[in-house]
């Protein structure tokens, strides 16, 4: 009897994952030299994405076995620590707006939402631990209890692949969309950083 093929989401999304990691803004995040206000603006955009995603995941009870996995509260803490009450709120990028609008279209579709948890939260548990050591601020965004982090990685991987093997047509496109959205944000943030570093951030009257 022929064994049923088991899909692995890491293999199926590898190209999109690596493309995101190759972006100049990722190198800036890992350089230890990123401007605090640029990083705060990045956190603001992440907050918009995570808040909506986690709202819908909580509605669908998708964090019952990973209660401390949601990141929005911690991202907000880090953002306010760096941005404070100075000037207007940071820019919300076009990719962030499009991403949040997309999440509205998959509300209540658990397998689709969890594809985004895989891309975002598993990334925080993995590569995010390197970013934590190189970026300014308290970085509560990337802090997990050691035992929790290991267990959460296992749970997220197992659950997303169980969804993938039942609903490939739903799960894989969502994971790819999430990676592509992250890549677009990295490009927008890098371009924004170049523009405002030249202008010494006068656009927001921060000096």
Residue 170, domain member (yes or no): yes
Residue 2, domain member (yes or no): no
* Residue from 170, 151, 80, 160 nearest 120 by CA: 160
Mean pLDDT, each 10-residue run in order, the chain (207 residues)? 65 97 97 94 97 98 97 97 84 97 98 98 95 96 91 97 92 98 97 68 39
Residue 203, domain member (yes or no): no
Residue 29, domain member (yes or no): yes
Residue 23, Cβ neighbours under 10 Å: how many? Answer: 18
pTM over 0.85: yes
Contacts of 63 (CB under 8 A, 6+ apart): 54, 57, 69, 70
The boundaries of the domain holding residue 176 are 16-196
Q: What is the CATH number of the domain that holds 157?
A: 1.20.910.10
On whether the CB atoms of residues 70 and 117 are closer than 8 A, the answer is no
pLDDT for res 203? 40
**How many domains in the chain?**
1
Residue 6, domain member (yes or no): no
pLDDT for res 114? 98
Residue whose entry in the numeric block shows the structure tokens 């891309």:
119
Give CA angle at 185 (180, 190), nearest 5°.
130
CA distances from 162 to 6, 73, 83, 128, 167 (A): 9, 28, 40, 24, 9
Residue 1, domain member (yes or no): no
Residue 207, domain member (yes or no): no
Contacts of 4 (CB under 8 A, 6+ apart): none
Residue 127, domain member (yes or no): yes
């Amino acid at each position: 009897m022929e064994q049923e093929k088991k899909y692995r989401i890491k293999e199926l999304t590898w190209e999109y994952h690596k493309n995101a990691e190759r972006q100049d803004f990722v190198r800036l995040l890992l350089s230890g030299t990123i401007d605090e206000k640029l990083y705060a603006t990045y956190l603001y955009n992440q907050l918009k994405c995570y808040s909506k995603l986690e709202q819908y995941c909580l509605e669908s009870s998708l964090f019952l076995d990973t209660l401390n996995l949601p990141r929005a509260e911690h991202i907000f803490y880090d953002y306010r620590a760096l941005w404070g009450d100075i000037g207007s709120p940071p820019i919300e990028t076009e990719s962030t707006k499009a991403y949040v609008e997309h999440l509205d279209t998959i509300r209540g579709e658990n397998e689709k939402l969890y594809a985004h948890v895989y891309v975002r939260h598993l990334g925080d548990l993995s590569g995010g631990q390197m970013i934590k050591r190189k970026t300014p601020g308290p970085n509560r965004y990337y802090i997990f209890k050691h035992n929790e982090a290991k267990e959460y990685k296992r749970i997220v991987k197992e659950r997303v692949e169980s969804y993938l093997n039942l609903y490939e047509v739903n799960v894989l496109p969502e994971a790819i969309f999430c990676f592509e959205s992250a890549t677009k944000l990295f490009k927008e943030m890098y371009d924004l950083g170049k523009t405002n570093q030249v202008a010494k951030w006068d656009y927001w009257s921060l000096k």
